[in-house]
């Protein structure tokens, strides 16, 4: 078992990563205007109310996203009976690292202010978003990777994903769902929290006011419509008309993914429900017919990070976004056009050019996802991470102290059991 002994490898990796993070934060990170005592109070004195602090606009959404990352993703994978510690525990470790690294990468790539990264609740949400995209890959490789390998994966993926925007996260966010069989009610805790808070996810960093409000509402109706489509299709593709829990969980997200781009636009609840319905249909059909084909013919397994099917609702969403964008006009949006399409508002782009740009961005994102996946896969195959051999994967006891193994901890439980036996017997 010494090949998987993490004692020094994990300790040193964690310590080095955290020390680097701390040094870089010390050099580059500072409070933004809304979190800095001096600057905020200068603003307050100029007749801004505390209610205008971005904290009150975004913190509830941030905490919803936070629950999606740590409970939603963490518990989705607890269905593996002997791998619950690793599912929740490694999700926890990876996410805690990724959100710090994402703060830096996004700060470097999306603009420094006088050489500094200025942070607040919006950057925290963006860091959580980026973390989410890593956790999707985590789901695909769960059980066959060591925590060190997962940290390296997070390091690479955050660096790559920081260059993409929110769409990129959503594009691939279906990945994990198909990869596992959710045999357990525990996993449903994860699913339902993801489904419920997806409106917060989509609206968390849109513009204040009508944009946040509209995005949350469009997502709400898309998810509802998608859920009915999924139950319909799940029954339809099964000979006995039995529902498949994996399909139901696809529905959970497909409707949210598919309005990830267009949800902020004047898509209307009507449009959102059509998109959600299509997303549900595509997702179930893809799952039933496309996935087995890809796996058997092309040997593309779930361990591969760029599985085409799982991006389908995301691709649908990008197309819907491009079409909806190309119909944007001042007549429909009024002054609100400035928040949603600033370039169309100030006439530096026509609406159809805006739509075209969104379509191109889809192609770029898909290309980057492919390249990034190949690169990550290549780097992770270097045999230095203490990954478990194929014969002993999906087993908590490789990396964790599990009750019953060690003397110290279960004394309490032993006492209880003995006493209970006396009582009952």
Q: Of 57, 129, 161, 385, which one interacts with its own copies (CB under 8 A)? A: 57
Number of residues that bind its own copies (CB under 8 A): 156
H or E element that contains 157: helix 147-161
Q: Of 108, 156, 224, 285, which one interacts with its own copies (CB under 8 A)? A: 224
Kindly state whether residue 315 participates in binding its own copies, applying the rule CB under 8 A.
Answer: no
Cα 281 off chain centre by: 22
Nearer to its own copies among residue 237 and residue 379 (C-beta) = 237
Kindly state whether residue 357 participates in binding its own copies, applying the rule CB under 8 A.
Answer: no
Kindly state whether residue 177 participates in binding its own copies, applying the rule CB under 8 A.
Answer: no
H or E element that contains 321: helix 312-326
Residues 16-55 contacting its own copies, CB under 8 A: 17-18, 21-22, 25-26, 29-31, 34-42, 44-45, 49-55
Kindly state whether residue 141 participates in binding its own copies, applying the rule CB under 8 A.
Answer: no
**130/200 Cα distance (integer angstroms):** 15
Q: How far is the CB of 209 from its own copies (least distance, A)?
A: 4
Kindly state whether residue 130 participates in binding its own copies, applying the rule CB under 8 A.
Answer: no
H or E element that contains 29: strand 29-31
List of residues 6+ apart from 387 with CB closer than 8 A? 4, 144, 145, 146, 149
Q: Which stretch binds its own copies (CB under 8 A): 157-165, 192-200, 306-314, 365-373?
A: 192-200
For residue 24, which of 96, 101, 126 has the smallest C-alpha distance? 101
Residues 361-420 contacting its own copies, CB under 8 A: 390-395, 397, 399-401, 403, 408-410, 412-413, 415-416, 419-420
Q: How far is the CB of 114 from its own copies (least distance, A)?
A: 16
Kindly state whether residue 5 participates in binding its own copies, applying the rule CB under 8 A.
Answer: yes
Q: How far is the CB of 81 from its own copies (least distance, A)?
A: 8
Residues 319-338 contacting its own copies, CB under 8 A: 332-337
Phi, psi of 116 (to 5 degrees): -120, 150
Nearer to its own copies among residue 125 and residue 366 (C-beta) = 125
Query: Contact 260/167 with Cβ under 8 angstroms?
Result: yes
Residue whose token pair is 């084909």: 293
| Vertex 234: Cα angle to 321 and 169 (nearest 5) | 35
Kindly state whether residue 188 participates in binding its own copies, applying the rule CB under 8 A.
Answer: yes
Nearer to its own copies among residue 108 and residue 400 (C-beta) = 400
The span from the first CA to the last CA of the chain, in angstroms, equals: 41
Kindly state whether residue 154 participates in binding its own copies, applying the rule CB under 8 A.
Answer: no
**392/215 Cα distance (integer angstroms):** 45
H or E element that contains 63: helix 54-67
Kindly state whether residue 210 participates in binding its own copies, applying the rule CB under 8 A.
Answer: yes
């Amino acid at each position: 078992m010494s090949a998987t002994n993490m004692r020094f490898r994990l300790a040193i990796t964690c310590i080095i990563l955290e020390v680097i993070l701390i040094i870089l934060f010390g050099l580059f990170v500072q409070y933004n205007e809304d979190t800095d005592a001096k600057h905020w109070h200068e603003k307050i004195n100029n007749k801004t109310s505390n209610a205008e602090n971005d904290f009150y606009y975004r913190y509830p959404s941030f905490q919803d996203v936070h629950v999606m990352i740590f409970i939603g993703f963490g518990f989705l994978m607890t269905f593996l009976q002997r791998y619950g510690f690793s599912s929740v525990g490694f999700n926890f470790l990876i996410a805690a690292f990724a959100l710090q690294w994402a703060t830096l990468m996004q700060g470097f790539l999306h603009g420094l202010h006088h050489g500094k990264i200025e942070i607040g609740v919006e950057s925290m949400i963006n860091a959580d978003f980026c973390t989410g995209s890593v956790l999707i890959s985590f789901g695909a490789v769960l059980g066959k990777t060591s925590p060190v390998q997962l940290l390296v994966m997070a390091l690479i993926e955050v660096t790559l994903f920081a260059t993409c925007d929110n769409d990129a996260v959503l594009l691939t966010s279906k990945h994990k769902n198909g990869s596992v069989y959710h045999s357990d009610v525990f996993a449903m805790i994860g699913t339902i929290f993801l489904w419920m808070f997806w409106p917060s996810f989509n609206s968390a960093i849109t513009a204040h006011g009508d944009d946040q409000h509209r995005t949350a509402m469009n997502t709400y109706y898309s998810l509802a419509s998608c859920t009915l489509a999924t139950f319909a299709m799940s029954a339809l593709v099964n000979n006995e008309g039995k529902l498949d829990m994996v399909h139901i969980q696809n529905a959970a997200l497909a409707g949210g993914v598919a309005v990830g781009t267009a949800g902020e636009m004047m898509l209307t609840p009507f449009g959102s429900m059509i998109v959600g319905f299509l997303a549900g249909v595509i997702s179930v059909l893809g799952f039933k017919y496309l996935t087995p084909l890809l796996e058997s013919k092309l040997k593309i397994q779930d361990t591969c990070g760029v599985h085409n099917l799982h991006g389908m609702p995301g691709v649908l969403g990008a197309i819907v976004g491009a079409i909806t964008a190309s119909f944007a006009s001042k007549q429909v949006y009024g002054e609100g056009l400035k928040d949603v399409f600033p370039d169309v508002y100030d006439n530096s782009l026509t609406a159809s050019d805006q739509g075209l740009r969104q379509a191109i961005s889809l192609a770029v994102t898909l290309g980057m996802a492919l390249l990034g996946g190949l690169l990550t896969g290549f780097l992770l195959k270097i045999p230095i991470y203490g990954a478990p051999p194929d014969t002993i994967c999906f087993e908590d006891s490789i990396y964790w102290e599990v009750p019953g193994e060690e003397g110290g901890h279960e004394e309490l439980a032993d006492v209880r059991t003995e006493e209970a036996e006396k009582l009952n017997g």
